Amino acid sequence: MKIAIVDDEAEAREELQQVLRSCGIALVEQADCWHYASGEEFLAGFQPDSFQLVFLDIRMEGMNGIETARLIRKQTANLPIVFLTSSADYALEGYQVFPAGYLLKPIRQGRLQLLDILQHCLPQAPAVLAVQWNGRKLQVPRARIAYVDVKGNRRVGGRRGCVVHLLADRELAVDTPYPEVAAALRAADFAECYNHLLVNFAAVETLLADGFELKNGERLPISRRLYREVSRDYMEYLLRK
């Protein structure tokens, strides 16, 4: 995957690349990022199939981001364009070129907004969790997962790994370490609500004062330290749905 970052501030380009490198979406973290200091520089060698995603600063010296986007749209209607801006003044004008979204600077403060935009404009990740189970590869449909934990940092049977709990009151003691599973599910509406406890928001029936009640009747705790963040993320999930 190739991503273009077009911004006349070198520091802003580097900041965005660092956030993309740690966003938790493998396709983005492993992408080839190209930096451009102006719209003119970007358009000089642009081809419709050159990139799969473009981040475009609106306020730049010379050709601004909206003018650049209009010229991009003359060549392709499908390339996702995400505008970068320090104010919403250009929002109405910018929507005439059908952007995938807007990100307010500084980018680090809009990390959740960035993840939401990426999830909607990128090719959809496989709706399965790939794990190692008894020495062989297994694909578990994400929709069937209620939560993931480690049961004392050791999987059932004594070997290191984690436990994938299914909505059908079954559990899979897998060999894949918890950090790998958490990284694979981070951008798929799963959230860590307690230490080494990852819940699937789609499996939640009710948000309680101290935890979640799941659709299968189980209750999971939410740590005091994480409650505000996790409850906010869950409410944002409900609004998206």
CATH code for the domain in which residue 108 is found: 3.40.50.2300
Cβ burial of 123 (10 Å; 0-12, 13-18, 19+) is: exposed
The Cα 119–Cα 107 span in angstroms is 17
Number of domains in the chain: 2
Please report the pLDDT score of residue 230 as a whole number: 94
Considering the domain architecture, whether residues 20 and 103 belong to the same structural domain is answered as yes
Among the three residues 121, 153, 178, which one is the final residue of a domain in this structure?
121
Per-residue pLDDT of the chain (241 residues; tens, 9 = 90+): 899 999 999 999 999 999 998 887 777 888 899 999 999 999 998 998 889 999 999 989 899 999 999 999 999 988 999 999 876 665 555 555 767 888 888 888 877 788 888 877 776 555 889 898 888 889 899 989 999 998 754 555 545 789 999 998 889 989 899 998 998 887 678 999 999 999 999 999 999 999 999 999 999 999 999 999 999 989 988 876 6
Strand bridging mode 2-6 / 32-36 = parallel
In terms of residue numbers, what domain contains 63?
2-121
* Buried b or exposed e, range 93-102, using 16+ CB within 10 angstroms: ebeebebbeb
pLDDT at 25: 77
Q: Where residue 207 sits, what CATH number does that domain have?
A: 2.40.50.1020
Q: Are residues 104 and 160 in the same domain?
A: no
Residues 6 or more apart whose Cβ sits within 8 Å of residue 51? 2, 3, 4, 34, 79
- The pLDDT of residue 8 is 94
Query: Would you state the pLDDT for residue 90?
Result: 55
Domain endpoint, select from 76, 95, 121: 121
